[in-house]
Structure 1
Amino acid sequence: MQRRQVLLGATAALSGLTGCIAPFTSDGSLREVNVELRNTDDRARTFHLALETESGVLDWDSYRVDGGVDQRVTMTPDEDISPVALHGAVEDFAGGVEILGVNNLDEDYCLRFHFWYAHPSDERPQLAQVADIEC
């Protein structure tokens, strides 16, 4: 199956993105974007997310997550869009993940991300794409 052969690349940026991202074409459609917000701190934090498409950045949404809690957020596009990146911010961290490797899909797909307030390996915020496009 083609979708199992696709490896999604992800690049995390600590403060914004530079340069242009080329749009792509695909026969498949993005069904939904799932983001696991993980607040490993003992205080509540507000996470901000925005999906960038080839037409521009969609509205930013904010999610307050209690301390020590994981919360799953699902973003469902209203129309057929070509995703370019997911942007996120929490406290003084702002970053983004480019969405790569979905331009040759001929079937619908979903995107999954993890957004940690403090990642276990380095205790800093991290936004990363999961290398799986199954819905």
Structure 2
Amino acid sequence: MSLKKVFKYWAGKTDMKEHRRYFILSCACLLSVSGCLSRNSGPNPDIKLRLYNNSAERKIFHFALEDDGGIDEWITREVNAGTDETVSVEVDRNQMWNTFHGVIDDHVITGELISPESASCIELRFISEIDDSDEPEILQDATEGC
């Protein structure tokens, strides 16, 4: 049986009210999930990076963001002992950044970048040492402005 014959048979068995009802229900279902398909509804947030050197010696921090296409440019900063520095990370707001990478000495940190619902800024705190540990950390927080 051809597709044309099947359609004629199906069309003959139903009335226009049923077609309309099916169409309206289909549209309602599609519209109800259309906002859930993207990771976030607005543009990607700005990113502020704070580098904290809690050690007794000068440290070199390396940081990069990654999306599905690969790693972006590395940011490298030397921070004196017992000080901190704030860096505004220039990002392409149309890309979906999903991972961050950080390196201090021989320590490598990789983590998933948070996806805030309504915040306009992600603040990353790259800390060289926490509580007399040699292990660095990258903490993140979503805020309303950088």
Q: Which one of 136, 141, 145 corresponds to residue 125 of structure 1?
A: 136
The CA deviation at 1:118 is: 0.6
Q: Which one of 39, 48, 56 corresponds to residue 25 of structure 1?
A: 39
The CA deviation at 1:76 is: 2.0
- Do 1:30 and 1:108's aligned partners in 2 also have CA atoms closer than 8 Å? no
Unaligned runs of 5+ in 2: 1-37
1:112 counterpart letter in structure 2: E
> Relative to 1, partners in 2 of residues 1:108 and 1:68: Cα closer, same or farther, differing over 3 Å?
closer
> How is 1:85-100 mapped onto 2 (pairs within 5 angstroms)?
85-100=99-114
Distance in 2 of aligned mates of 1:83 and 1:101: 9
The CA deviation at 1:54 is: 2.7
Aligned residue number for residue 4 of structure 1: none
Aligned residue number for residue 112 of structure 1: 123
Distance in 1 of aligned mates of 2:119 and 2:137: 27
Secondary structure of the structure 2 residue equivalent to 1:124: coil
Distance in 2 of aligned mates of 1:28 and 1:85: 19
Aligned residue number for residue 37 of structure 1: 51
- Do 2:55 and 2:82's aligned partners in 1 also have CA atoms closer than 8 Å? yes
The CA deviation at 1:121 is: 6.7
* Percent of pairs with identical residues: 22
Q: Which one of 77, 81, 102 corresponds to residue 95 of structure 2?
A: 81
Aligned residue number for residue 134 of structure 1: 144
Q: TM-score of the superposition, structure 2-length normalised?
A: 0.65
Distance in 2 of aligned mates of 1:129 and 1:123: 20
2:39 counterpart letter in structure 1: T
Distance in 2 of aligned mates of 1:98 and 1:90: 18
Q: How many residue pairs align between the two structures? A: 108
Q: Which one of 36, 60, 65 corresponds to residue 74 of structure 2?
A: 60
The CA deviation at 1:125 is: 1.1
Aligned residue number for residue 32 of structure 2: none
Secondary structure of the structure 1 residue equivalent to 2:135: coil
- Do 2:100 and 2:111's aligned partners in 1 also have CA atoms closer than 8 Å? yes
The Cα offsets for residues 84-117 of structure 1, whole Å up to 9 and x where unpaired, read as 0111000011012202343xx3x67211111111
Q: TM-score of the superposition, structure 1-length normalised?
A: 0.70
Question: Which is higher, the Rg of structure 1 or of structure 2?
Answer: 2
- Structure having the larger proportion of residues in helix: 2
Distance in 2 of aligned mates of 1:71 and 1:30: 23
